[in-house]
Structures are given as C-alpha cells and as structure tokens.
Structure 1
Amino acid sequence: MSLELSASVKYWLNFFHPVLMWALLVLSIYAAYLGLQLQRTRNAQGEEKKELIKGRYNVRHYQIGSILLGLMVASAIGGMGVTYINNGKLFVGPHLLAGLGMTGLIAFSAALSPYMQKGANWARATHILLNFTLLGLFAWQAVTGVQIVQRILTKA
C-alpha cells in the first residue's frame, strides 16, 4: 500500500513543526519562570512563603514540564518525519543534531523528577543546569529553524 500525499499537503506540513516549536519555546520560558518561582518559594520563610505557596508553582511547573516533554519529543519526531516525507532523506546538520540533543536533555531532565521529589539537591541542581542548557539550545534552534523555513519559502 502506498500513501502518497498531495504536493499541497506536503508543502503545508513543512510549517507545522516550526509553529509548534515556537509555541514550545514560549512555553519553555514560562516553565523556567515557574521553576524560578518554585525555587523562590522553597527558600522563602514566614508570611512570604505562605503567600508564594498559594501560587501552586510546584504543580504548575510539573504540569507544564510534562506537556513540554511530550510535545517536544513528538515534534522532534514529526519534524524528522516531514523532512523525510518531503525529501526522501534527513539533512544531517547542526539543526538536526542540536534537536536530537535537546530531546535527550529534556528526557534526562524529566527523569530527575522522582529524585527531586525526595529532596535530592544534586538532582535539582542538575535539572536546572540541563533546562537552562536546553533553553539556550532552543533559542538557537529557533533561529536556525527560521533559516530553514526561509529556504523552503524561496523554493516555493
């Protein structure tokens, strides 16, 4: 059975991954904000701590992180799939390699959650380091992704 997509569908599939990834970049920045608020809550005392606890930063950070993990992995696979569908191959270069690295970083970062819930400070510090590295790579990926989209638009 052969599943051949129309040229129009193939063309518009090129934009699903970039749009989703830009949304995930914004969501990642929000997750970082929540994580910083969670750290602030953890270090606060007295009335300030009681007030910060009401923000439920721990729950929101965990939920947003879970959404990011699932959508980032799915979008990385989807981006490679669309590239392969449209070109019959993957273009091995900095964008692909950094994207694969980001996928690994977010998986390792999420895998630290059980240790952080048990109070392991080494896991918390590693989680923060991985996520800020991920955020830096993500910002760079956004720039290189725009360059790829520009090449696609000039070919159309």
Structure 2
Amino acid sequence: MSSDSLAALKPYLSFFHPITMWILLVVALYAMYLGVQVRRARLADGELKKELVKGRFAIRHHQIGSILLALMVIGAIGGITVTYLNNGKIVIGPHLFAGLGMVGLVSTSAALVPFMQKHDWVRSIHVSLNLILLGLFGWQAVTGVQIVQKIVSKMMTNGVG
C-alpha cells in the first residue's frame, strides 16, 4: 500500500476505533444480560429452571464473553495505533489509561472462568470486575465522543472530509 493510499484513508481510520467500541459496549451489555440469566437459571427451581436451561444462557454468555475479550484487545490496539498514525505520538491521558484498565479487567475476568465452578467467591470477583468494566466502558463512551468531536472539528478546519 502506497503512502498516498494510507494518507487518503487516514481521516477515516480515526472512526474505526470509536465505532468498534460503541458496538462492543452493546455486546458487553448483552453479555451482562446473558450472565444475569445464567445466575437466574443456577438459582431457580423446578419448571422455571428447566425453562431457563433451554435458553443455553451459559454457553451463549461464554461465547459472547470470548468475542468481547478478543475484540476489546484488538480495539484497544487499534485505537492506540490510529492515534499514533494521526498524531505521531500516543496521547497520554485518562481515556488511554481507562482503556488499558478495561483490557486488564476483561482479561482478568476471562481468566477467572475456569475457577468459577468450584469457588463462589471467584464468581463474585468475576461479576464485580465486569460491573467495574461496564462503568469504565460508559465513561469511555462519553470521553470518546468528546475526542471524536475534536477530530471532526480538526477535519473541518483543515478541509478534510
């Protein structure tokens, strides 16, 4: 790929990370919904338990969680890379640190999964980490919109777009 081709794509690359992250926020909320259904099924009795088990919530929660882990790591790397390509440096600030913290939280949460069957306290840590992750994710969405607004403003000032 020539440098002219990359230069032509550069303004649009700035939007890959935010779009990906907004999609992942929705995926994370869906994973939380599935996790709540898994808990309901685990604690239910009788017919309700039979009905909830049919939903295969545990399998779906695990699959969506795996996808979330992979895409969050890739999205974070992509965001840092695009920032470097656009600015010639990595912008050090709260958005970056919170994003890196989110990668650590989602990785740790996923690493706990094999231990959750035997230890209820591990399940509690898994849930707590994911709630913190969702809180950071919401904050990241707000600060990310502010960053996108700056990028769009800069593009309009420079006549790009």
The two structures share one fold, judged by TM-score above 0.5: yes
Unpaired runs of 5+ in structure 2?
156-161
- The equivalent of 2:64 in structure 1 is 64
The one-letter amino acid of 1:131's match is N
Matches within 5 A, 1:7-156: 7-116=7-116, 118-156=117-155
The offset of 1:7, in angstroms, is 2.9
The one-letter amino acid of 1:129's match is S
The offset of 1:13, in angstroms, is 0.2
The offset of 1:6, in angstroms, is 3.5
State how many pairs are aligned.
154
RMSD: 1.2
- The equivalent of 2:159 in structure 1 is none
The one-letter amino acid of 1:44's match is A
SS of 1:105's equivalent in the other structure is: helix
* Cα deviation 1:46-70 (Å, max 9, x = unaligned): 1110000000000000000000000
**Pair 1:3–1:88, CA change in 2 (3 A):** farther
The one-letter amino acid of 1:26's match is V
The one-letter amino acid of 2:9's match is V
* Separation in 2, partners of 1:6, 1:106: 32
SS of 2:55's equivalent in the other structure is: coil
The offset of 1:123, in angstroms, is 1.0
The one-letter amino acid of 1:141's match is Q
* Separation in 2, partners of 1:45, 1:122: 22
